[in-house]
Chains A and B, each alone.
Chain A
C-alpha cells in the first residue's frame, strides 16, 4: 500500500518561501508512470492543483502559480518537494501531496497524503 506523508513548517511569514516535502513509502517513486503532485485547499474551499513532477525531474505547473513554484524530486530519499516563493496570506491553505496517473485514457490522483496546513502570517 502506497503512503504519502507531507512534512514542513505550519507557519510561514509573508514574502518568504514555503517549503514542504512529501515522503513516499510502500513503493518507489521511480516505478511506474506516476506523476508526483502537489494540490492545495484553501480553508473551506475547493481543490487547486499546483503542479507535479515525474521521477526524471520533468515538471508541470499550474500556469497561475508557475512563476512562484518549484517542485523537485530526490529519488534517493523517495521524496519530492514543493517550494512556493513570495507567499502572501492568500497562500494559507492545506497542502496535499498525491500520486497522479496520467494516461491517454485520462488523469487522476489515486493516493493522497494527510495534508499539511500552512498559515502565512507575520
Chain B
C-alpha cells in the first residue's frame, strides 16, 4: 500500500492530452513539493517534474505538473507512443521523515 495514491492505469489516443492524479495528505503533498518520474519498461526511473511544476533541463514541455492542497497532477499533451510508461509521483513525508512514492500509473497510448 503506497502512501501516495495514483490510478493504476490511464489510456488515451495519440495527440490527445491525459492527466494523472496523485493524492496524499498534509504530511506529504500538502506541505512539500511533488516530483514525477517516468519509467519506461526495463529502464530506470527518470525525473520528469520536480518542485511541483519544474521541468528538468532537456525535458519535453509536453509534460507539466500542478498541485492543489493535498493532490497533484501530471499532464501530458500531444501524446506519442513513446510516452507509454509507468509514471510515479513522489514527495517528502514529514511524518515518515523520508520520501514516499505513489504506486505508479501505467499510461497506454491507444
Residues on A close to B: CB < 8 A? 45-49, 51, 60-63, 96, 100, 105-110, 112-115
Contact = CB atoms under 8 A, between A and B. Distances in A.
A113 B44 contact: yes
B32 A96 contact: no
- Which of B43, B97, B99, B102 has its CB near the most chain A CB atoms (within 10 A)? B99
B44 A47 contact: no
B101 to A, nearest CB: 4
A63 B95 CA distance: 11
Interface size class of B (residues with CB under 8 A): 20 to 34
Contacts, number: 69
Given A46-B104, A107-B32, A108-B50, A115 B44 contact: yes
A108 B47 contact: yes
- Which of B32, B35, B44, B102 has its CB near the most chain A CB atoms (within 10 A)? B44
A49 B91 CA distance: 11
Given A46-B101, A47-B104, A49-B98, 19 more contacts: A45-B103, A47-B37, A47-B90, A47-B101, A49-B101, A51-B98, A62-B96, A63-B97, A63-B98, A105-B33, A106-B33, A106-B35, A107-B33, A107-B35, A107-B92, A108-B47, A109-B45, A109-B90, A110-B47
